[in-house]
Amino acid sequence: MTSQITPTTPIEGQMPGTSGLRKKTRVFMGPNYLENFIQATFDAIGGGDGGRYIVGGDGRFFNKQAIQTILKMAAANGATEVIVGQNGILSTPAVSHLIRLNAFDGGFILSASHNPGGIDEDFGVKFNASNGGPAPEKLTARIFDATKTISRYKIADFEDVDLSQIGETRQAGMVIRVVDPVDAYQALMAELFDFDAIRALFASGFTMRFDAMHAVTGPYAKAILEGTLGAAPGTVVNGIPLEDFGKGHPDPNPIWAKPLMDLMMSDNAPDLGAASDGDGDRNMIVGRGVYVTPSDSLAVLAANAHLAPPYRGGLAGIARSMPTSAASDRVAEKLGIAAYETPTGWKFFGNLLDAGKATLCGEESAGTGSNHVREKDGLWAVLLWLNILAVRKQSVAEILAEHWQTYGRDYYSRYDFEAVASDKANRLMDHLRDQLPDLAGKTLAGLTVTTADEFSYLDPVDGSISKNQGLRIGFEGGARAVFRLSGTGTEGATIRLYLEQYSGTDGDTTQDTQAALADVWAAAQQVSDMAQIIGRTTPDVIT
C-alpha cells in the first residue's frame, strides 16, 4: 500500500455556505473537486496527522463513493482511526454524538441536507469540529483560503473498504471501524428521555405517523419508535434511505411533506405527525388538525422542557436565530433566563452551548436541538414532544392553544423566492439597505416603522463579529419583516422574507396565519419594490 501525492490546482467557488460546501452532484464528481476540498479541510485543521474522525452521510447518490475517497485521503494525511456508519449511513446528529462520545478530532458529513439527491441534484460536505458542531466561521474561512492555494492532495492506494460489514479493518496504518449507525444514538436518546412514559403513551392507544421522507432517519425512527417505544408497525413511513429520496425533496415542511400534512388535516389523522429531512437534523411537528411552526415548537419545548428528565433542573438559556420568531424570547423572559439571538446557521449556537449559556436552541428552518449534541436533531425534537405529551396527557392542539393564551401568539411565515438571478437579488438587498437609515418613522402600507437595521452578531463567548446577517424592519404593533439571502442554495439566489406579527394575550390568537400577516406582507412588498426588481411577488415556497 502506498500513499501518493497528487498535484492539483485550485478550483473556484469552494466556499462553505450556511452549512458546508453544497454543489450539484456532477460538480462534486468532477476531477479533483472533492479531493481538493477534503485536502483543504485537512490543511486548515493542521494536517490530520494522528487524527481520529467520524465519516458518514445521508445515503444520497455519490455518498459511498465520496466516503471511499475520504477514507483514503484520511489515511494518507496520517489519521489513525476513522469510524464509518454501516453502508455509509449516519445522520448529522449521530455524527455529532459520535465525535463527542469518542472524543475524536472531528467528522465529515456527506449531505446536502434537505436538498434533493441524485446525479442531477445536490451533494454536500460538512466538516464538524471536535466539539461535535459545524465548523465555525473562522475555520470555514481557513478551509476556503486553503482551496485557493492548494497545489497537491494526499491519497492512499488501497482497495475500497466494504461498508456493508460491521467490523474493524486496518488500511495504510489507519484503523477503520464500520459501526451500526443507530446504536450509540439510540442509547443517548434512552438516557435522555423517559422511555417508560412514552411506552405507556403508545400502549394507551396514542397514534403517530413519522415520515422519514426516504432519507436517513428511517432506520433511527424505526428502531426507536417502533422497535423500542412500542409505536404500531407502519408508524414510520418512507423509512428506507434511497439515493434519490424517491425523487422527493426531503424537507420537512408543509409543502414538501404534503402527504403527511394532508393526513394530519383529515378525519383519519393520528395524534401526532412528524417528519425529518435528508440528514436527520430538521423536524416538523403536526398535531391533529394543527401545524406547529418551528418557532412555536421551540417556544413550547422550552416552556415544557422541565417535564423531561434532562431538563428538570431548568434551562440555562434559550438561543434562536435572528429570523426565528420572538415566541421563545417570551418563554425565556417568563422563566427568567437569557435569550440569545444569533445569525442563521447552527454553527453559531456552538459557543453558547459549549459555554453553558444556552440549553435549547432553535431556528425557523425546522431546526431544534439542545446541549446533548452540537447539531440540531430531528428525532430528538420528536422524542421531547412525545415525552411532554406523555406527561401532559393533552393533545398537541390543546398544548398550543394554552401556550398562546399564556404568552400571546407570534404569527409567523417565511416566503421563499427561489432561483432569482443573483444580480437581481443583490439589487433588491442593496435597494433595501440604502433605505434603512431613513426608514424609522415612515409608514409603509399603513404600518409605521419603529426600527430598521442590518443584523450583525457579536459572539458573547469568543468576541467574533459576523456582519451582513439580514435586513430587519420592525413595525409599531409587533410586526417584523426580515430579508435575507439564503446560504444553502445551489442555483442563483434564494431570497427569504420572514414575516411576523405578534398578537398579545388580550388579542386574537385564533386567526389564519396568512390573514394575520397580510399588512406586514404589503409593507414588505412596498419597501422592497420586489415587483419591479425581481419581477415577481408570488413566493415559490411558504413555510
Annotated catalytic sites, by residue? 113
Residue placing its CB nearer to ligand G6P in the complex, 194 or 375: 375
Kindly state the cell numbers that stand for 449. 416603522
For Zn ion, the closer CB: 270 or 367: 367
Over its C-alpha atoms, the chain yields an Rg (Å, rounded) of: 23
Cβ contact 239:218 at 8 Å: yes
With CB under 6 A as the contact rule, the residue among 3, 8, 18, 526 that binds ligand G6P is 18
- The residues with which 180 forms a beta bridge, in sequence order, are none
Binder of residue 116, out of ligand G6P, Zn ion, none (CB less than 5 to 8 A by kind):
none
Q: Examine residue 496 and tell whether it contacts ligand G6P (CB under 6 A).
A: yes
450 binding partner (options Zn ion, ligand G6P, none; Cβ < 5 to 8 Å by kind): none
From the list Zn ion, ligand G6P, none, pick the one residue 488 interacts with, judged by a Cβ distance below 5 to 8 Å according to partner type.
Answer: ligand G6P
Choose which of 87, 140, 328, 344 interacts with ligand G6P (CB under 6 A): 344
User: Is residue 345 close enough to count as binding ligand G6P by CB under 6 A?
Assistant: yes
Query: How far, in Å, CA of 288 to CA of 285, rounded?
Result: 10
Tell me if 19 contacts ligand G6P by CB under 6 A.
yes
- How buried is 279 (Cβ within 10 angstroms: 0-12 exposed, 13-18 middle, 19+ buried)? buried
The CA distance from 454 to 470, in Å, is 6
Question: Which of ligand G6P, Zn ion, none has residue 375 at its interface (CB below 5 to 8 Å by kind)?
Answer: none
Q: Which residues contact 295 (CB under 8 A, 6 or more apart)?
A: 320, 324, 325, 327, 328, 362, 364, 410, 412
Can you tell me the distance from the alpha carbon of 529 to that of 270, in angstroms, rounded to the nearest whole number?
A: 44
If one asks whether residue 346 binds ligand G6P (CB under 6 A), the answer comes out as yes
**Per-residue interface string for the shown chain with ligand G6P, residues 365-404, x marking contact by CB under 6 A:** x-x-------------------------------------
297 binds ligand G6P (CB under 6 A): no
User: Backbone dihedral region of 172: left (phi > 0), alpha (psi from -120 to 50 degrees) or beta?
Assistant: left
Helical axes 422-439 vs 518-528, angle rounded to 10°: 100
State the Cα–Cα distance between residues 30 and 533, nearest whole angstrom: 35
Taking CB under 6 A as the criterion, which residues in 422-451 touch ligand G6P?
none
Q: Minimum distance between the CB of residue 278 and Zn ion, rounded to whole angstroms?
A: 6
Q: Which residues sit at the interface with Zn ion, rule CB under 5 A?
A: 113, 277, 279, 281-282
291 near 333, Cβ under 8 Å? no
Residue 42 binding partner per list ligand G6P, Zn ion, none, with a CB distance cut-off of 5 to 8 Å that depends on partner kind: none
Q: CB 199 → Zn ion: shortest distance, Å? A: 28
377 contact, one of ligand G6P, Zn ion, none, CB 5-8 Å limit per kind: none
In whole angstroms, what separates CA 269 from the centre of its chain? 27
Burial class (CB in 10 A: 0-12, 13-18, 19+), 445: middle
CB of 295 to Zn ion, least distance (A): 18
Query: Quick one: 317 or 489, whose CB is closer to ligand G6P?
Result: 489
The one segment of 144-152, 237-245, 262-270, 482-490 that binds ligand G6P by CB under 6 A:
482-490
**Cα(524)–Cα(498) distance, rounded to whole angstroms?**
10
CB of 346 to ligand G6P, least distance (A): 4
Name residue, grid cell 465520496: 66
Q: Which of 487, 492, 507, 539 binds ligand G6P (CB under 6 A)?
A: 487
Least Cα distance to 99 among 62, 39, 56, 59 occurs for: 56
Q: Which is nearer to ligand G6P, 24 or 306 (CB)?
A: 24
Give the C-alpha distances (Å, rounded to integers) separating 487 from 140, 340, 377, 490: 13, 21, 20, 9
| Partners of 320 in the β-ladder | 341, 362
Binding-site string for ligand G6P from residue 54 to residue 93, where x marks contact by CB under 6 A and - marks none: ----------------------------------------
The residue sitting closest to Zn ion, measured at its beta carbon, is 113
User: Residue 344 binds which entry of Zn ion, ligand G6P, none, with Cβ cut-offs from 5 to 8 Å by kind?
Assistant: ligand G6P
Tell me which stretch binds ligand G6P (CB under 6 A): 145-153, 204-212, 338-346, 389-397. Answer: 338-346
Among 113, 293, 370, 413, binds ligand G6P (CB under 6 A): 113
**Residue whose CB is less far from ligand G6P, 18 or 435:** 18
Query: Which is closer to Zn ion, CB of 279 or CB of 500?
Result: 279
Three-point CA angle 157, 127, 240, nearest 5°: 85
d(CA 479, CA 501): 4
Distance of CA 263 to the CA centre of its chain: 25
288 is an interface residue for ligand G6P by CB under 6 A? no
The nearer residue to Zn ion, 48 or 250, going by C-beta atoms, is: 250
Q: Which residues contact 266 (CB under 8 A, 6 or more apart)?
A: none
Residue 452's beta-bridge partner residues? 473
Q: Is the dihedral of CA 155, 159, 164, 168 positive or negative?
A: negative
Q: Which is nearest to 22 in space by CA: 117, 92, 95, 88?
A: 117
Nearer to ligand G6P, 19 or 41 (CB): 19
For residue 127, the minimal CB distance to Zn ion (Å) is 15
Question: Considering only 63-71, 156-164, 181-189, 480-488, which stretch makes contact with ligand G6P by CB under 6 A?
Answer: 480-488
- Cβ closer to ligand G6P: 92 or 304? 92
Q: Closest approach of Cβ 349 to ligand G6P, in Å?
A: 9
**Nearer to Zn ion (CB atom), residue 28 or residue 407:** 28
Rule CB under 6 A: which residues touch ligand G6P?
18-19, 113, 321, 344-346, 363, 365, 367, 486-488, 496
